[in-house]
Amino acid sequence: MSARSRRRNSSANTTLEDHVTGSDSSSTDQFAAVQKLRSSLQSNQVSSKLPRGVKLVTEKDTENLHTEIHSLIRSLVKEIGKGNPPSLELPLRGSGNIIWDEENDLLLLGEKTTVRSLGSLRTAKDVTRLIRVLEIVHELLEKDIHATKREIFYNDVNLFEEQRQSDTAIDDIGPLLGTNRESTHIVASAKGTVLGRLVLEDSGDRIDCTRLGTGGWSITPFLDRVEIVESDAEFLLIVEKDAAMLRLSEVKWWNKYPCILLTAKGSPDIASRIFARRLSKELKLPAFTLVDADPFGHYIHSVYLRGSKRLSYESPFLATPDLRLLGVLGRDLDQYHIPKECRLRMSSEDIKRAKAMMNEPFVAQNSKWVADIRLMVKRKEKAEIQALSSHGFEFLADTYLPTKLETGDWI
């Protein structure tokens, strides 16, 4: 458990429960499958040991990281003093250096490296940009402030030329220093929101996520200043679409079904992924995703679940390995009688994405997941979460989700 988090037992959360009006305390009795899953998560000892042959990164405090940056720069200066062009050895971040850790169910960065030198015309500019980002990180650490990726770019437009160049340097800094992005004080703009049975502190301000109307708490990129105070939630539901989140927030769904709702409004940003992991891990909650019934929705689930290849070195800090795919599954289109006119034809890009996913080892070993993706490809059909509203606006909250949770119908 994080040192900056406190978790109270559900039975002790009287303050939080007092805040929730109209809560049905017996509603969780019907979710025996969810409760069984939660019990198994609380009792299972998950391995935290990573396999050999992967690039290890750790969360580092300001003092240690500050010292390491000074040490790295001194080594570069020493090489210059010897008359040698300074160089940096960096982990390769291409797909050929990605390892699937089956035991921990994570995508991780391997140990293959490449050398970039100031003495090479091909890599001199890359090294210069990396050193400039190191200088900026050093400044952020000394001032104890954060900066967004966009701000980093505007800090030296002439050198970076375009943001993708500064973004690449930022992505290389973590593996170079052996730490996660959060430790460098470089943040990406956050777009996620949270609602439901959760009390937290954000920079000292106490926030009760059951009392924020229908808008919720906007996930901050400064998650090192956020503390989870208490929760009596039974599970975490990650919702792909903001429209589906609005449907659940309007009826305050967490009052009847004690849960925490989180959405990143599409593809998940780093802050949303970090916070989803923290909620699941620190509160030992079963976590589920609700995504569109298409290959891209399933891909979003996989990013929350195992991490992404681009940021594979940070997967231990970003991924939620115990995540379940609740829906919308391909087989749900028939099971819940979604009308044909509400289904969409899969594009060639959809089919390409589906086939690529089935070839990934972490998908291929899950027969239920493969079968569901294969069904989509066979029928060439997909559907949005909102297609469930063809049975009425209340169908998602009152029928679909309760039925899925009650029956344990997830992947």
Catalytic site residues?
154
Per-residue tokens: 201: 């502190």
Give the 3-state secondary structure of residue 347.
coil
Residues whose CB is less than 8 angstroms from the CB of residue 163 and which lie 6 or more positions away in sequence, other chains included: 149, 150, 153
According to DSSP, residue 330 is labeled T
Query: CB atoms < 10 A from the CB of 78, how many?
Result: 11
Q: Determine the Cα–Cα distance for residues 152 and 137; give it in Å rounded to an integer.
A: 9
d(CA 170, CA 191): 20
- Give the largest Cα separation in the chain, rounded: 75
Give the number of other Cβ atoms within 10 Å of residue 267's Cβ.
13
Using a 10 angstrom Cβ sphere, with 0-12 exposed, 13-18 middle and 19 or more buried, the burial of residue 367 is exposed
DSSP for 267-328, written as a single string = SPPHHHHHHHHHHHHHTT--EEEE--BSHHHHHHHHHHHH--STTGGGHHHH--TT-EEEE-
